[in-house]
A and B are shown apart, each in its own frame.
Chain A
Amino acid sequence: MSLPIHSPRLARRLGIAWTALVAAMLAAPVAVTIAGAFSRSEWYGLRSEGAPVQGTAALFTYVLGLWGHHLLRSAQIVAVVTPLALLLGAPAAYAFRRLPFPGSRWLEAAAVAPLAIPGIVLAVALIETAGGAPRFALLAAGHLVYTVPLVVRTVGNALHGHDPQLEDAARTLGAGRLAIVRRLVVPLLAPALVVSALLVLAVSWGEFNVSFLLATPRVQTFPAALYLTYTTNSFPVAAAATLVFLLPVVPVVAAIQALGGEELQRGAQP
């Protein structure tokens, strides 16, 4: 295939050059930020922050001291949300594909509808409804609303590609329902479940729009801490905190790409 230019070879080269340029423009700010975290922090007058920080190790220790609590909260949220999203989404996706019931199409559409609703809207709705509930639970609920759809879609798409007759065959061969689920459905769906878990992890770890409004000074996620650091700290501290945020994201996104996950562009809200 060629691009709509007359010389195919030139078109190919121009196209690749344009792609590389766009990718470079996306990567450049990240590269500058990483460089900032490893630059000599005394250039930026870190002493003014009340912590004489010299050298990279001291800088990261300082950042972890500032935001370690938020980091832990985010890790807890991800640890709670990931299994819950899988438990809520995967069985329902199986039902939608294999055991449809009256209204199941409608329920499936409703399950993915939150993806098209701005995060702040549902955050406001949650806070108006259950502002008195424990904030950790409210945060987890907000994250679940935006991650369950990804599981429903990923598992649903995977089931779409599998032959439902396999399960019928197993049944006629005498396998019970539990055995079919344990020895056929779950192994076949394992790649989709892994991709789902990674998607939930990536989205929940980076979620800000819902979390920021639901957060309290005591229960705050790491992206909310990033907002604080961007508005109050000097550049090296902000850059180092960003790097701490990126460390788990890079391998997770790479793994999603390698496993062919296609939902990340839908799931994460900027």
Chain B
Amino acid sequence: MAGRDPRRRALGAPPPAAAGFLLALPLLLFLVALVLWPVSHLVAAATHGPGAFRVVLAAGRYRTALVNSLLLSAAAAGAAVLLSLVPAWVLARERFAGRQLLRAAMALPLSFSGVLVGFLMVVMLGRIGAIPELVRWLTGRQLLAGAAYTPAGLFVAYLYFEVPRAVLTLEAAFRRFPPELDAAARTLGASTRERLLRVRLPLLAPALRASLALTFSASMGSFGVALILSRRFTVAPVEIYTELTGFSNDAVAGALCLLLALATLAADRLLAQGGRRWRRAGSGGGLGGLRQAAASGTRS
């Protein structure tokens, strides 16, 4: 269209592809200078000297931190998506007084940094947290005091920042869910179970994958929560921080960084692209493709 407009070319304007490239050039330079170049330095730091990767992957603190991050993130992502299914559906499909207020309550924690979430956990479940104090006042018994600092407390804290992310991602997908298909299946005699397994789940699978990918990668990178809460249980981002600031061990910190980033990106790709069967061809994968994944599965 625009490209074949002869008059504009005659006026001496550059061809559209060149104009587009010029508009995007600052972004290209920005990405090269502030992402590509630094990441190449990271690779150089990690591969410089005797095998930092071997040190990290050998049994010990570093590998434990990576495994802890993976397990905690996977468990919390799964639990958060399960907890979020009903709220997301209700916010997307039902109309009732107070809906906007509930939605706002779900959205507010999105802007909280990890340290703030950690602090909120201490407020509720610390040694003199609100919940143990309430339990003591009601029953006279000492219960849950200091629970925030246990691995279970860390898990609950991860749920705190993951549930809003899962709810809002799923809600956007559920809003586009076509109710006609479900009604059609019903008139064709499908039972509730059949409709759930053969209509709703296949249609919503990409959205479920997308929300899992999002919550998992948010948890893998989460730094502040564990910085405040974790005592003996260590996660990869905290390990990177102590390695760099405490021991200025650039090689090991770099190797940990690369492994953490690779694990996060790989899981994101796997989850987002595994649903290709249900997606229109051509939509991008990864976090960039989340919306398309969520949309194409539910639009058909």
A residues apposed to B, CB below 8 Å: 1, 3-4, 6, 12, 15-16, 18-20, 22-24, 26-30, 32-33, 36, 87-89, 91-92, 94-96, 98-102, 104-105, 107-122, 124-130, 141, 144-145, 148, 152-153, 157, 164-165, 167-168, 171, 177, 202-203, 205-209, 212-213, 223, 226-227, 230-231, 235, 238-239, 242, 245, 249-250, 252-254, 256-257, 262, 264-266, 268-270
Contacts and interface: CB of A to CB of B under 8 A. Distances in A.
B229 to A, nearest CB: 11
A171 B115 contact: no
A152 B24 CA distance: 11
28 contacts: A1-B93, A1-B177, A16-B94, A23-B106, A88-B26, A95-B21, A101-B20, A107-B28, A110-B35, A111-B27, A112-B287, A112-B288, A115-B288, A116-B268, A118-B221, A124-B253, A124-B257, A206-B112, A208-B115, A212-B223, A230-B118, A230-B228, A253-B110, A256-B107, A264-B168, A265-B165, A265-B168, A265-B169
A99 B16 contact: yes
A129 B221 contact: no
The residue in B28, B98, B104, B224 that gathers the most chain A C-beta atoms within 10 A of its C-beta is: B224
A128 B254 contact: yes
Nearest to A5: B192
Given A88-B26, A266-B287, A118 B220 contact: yes
A224 B87 CA distance: 33
A226 B217 contact: no
B117 A117 contact: no
The residue in A101, A118, A227, A254 that gathers the most chain B C-beta atoms within 10 A of its C-beta is: A118
A120 B21 CA distance: 31
Contact of B124 (A22, A28, A102, A213): A28
B152 to A, nearest CB: 16
B153 interface: no
Contact of B20 (A104, A226, A230, A268): A104
Nearest to B215: A265
A157 B295 CA distance: 13
Interface in B10-34: 13, 16-21, 23-24, 26-28, 30-31, 34
Nearest to A269: B221
Interface stretch (B59-67, B137-145, B258-266): B258-266
A148 B30 contact: yes
Contacts of B224: 208-209, 212, 223, 227, 270
Nearest to A257: B107
Contacts of B8: 171
Contacts of A88: 26-27, 30
B278 interface: no
A144 B31 CA distance: 10
A262 B168 contact: yes
Interface residues of B, number: 111
B34 A126 contact: yes
Contacts of B264: 116-118
B202 interface: no
A18 to B, nearest CB: 5
B298 interface: no
A190 to B, nearest CB: 18
Interface of B: 1-2, 5, 8, 13, 16-21, 23-24, 26-28, 30-31, 34-35, 37-39, 41-42, 45, 83-84, 86-87, 89-91, 93-94, 96, 98, 101-124, 130, 160-161, 163-165, 167-169, 172, 177, 179, 182, 192, 195-196, 200, 214, 217-225, 227-228, 237, 240-241, 244-245, 250, 253-254, 257-258, 260-261, 264-265, 268, 284, 286-288, 290-291
Contacts, number: 313
Contacts of B102: 19-20, 23
B223 A209 contact: yes
Given A19-B91, A256-B107, 15 more contacts: A20-B102, A22-B84, A26-B109, A29-B124, A107-B28, A113-B287, A117-B264, A206-B111, A209-B221, A209-B222, A264-B110, A265-B214, A269-B114, A269-B222, A270-B225
A27 B105 CA distance: 6
A87 B26 contact: yes
A223 B287 contact: no
B261 A121 contact: yes
Given A112-B288, A119-B223, A206 B113 contact: yes
B24 A213 contact: no
A117 B261 contact: yes
A110 to B, nearest CB: 6
Ranked 3 nearest A-B pairs via Cβ: A99-B20, A118-B221, A208-B113
Given A1-B93, A119-B221, A264-B111, A129 B106 contact: no
Contacts of A29: 120-121, 123-124, 130, 160
A109 B284 contact: yes
Nearest to B219: A270
A149 to B, nearest CB: 8
B27 A89 contact: yes
A153 B111 CA distance: 18
A253 to B, nearest CB: 5
Contacts of B13: 177
Nearest to A14: B86
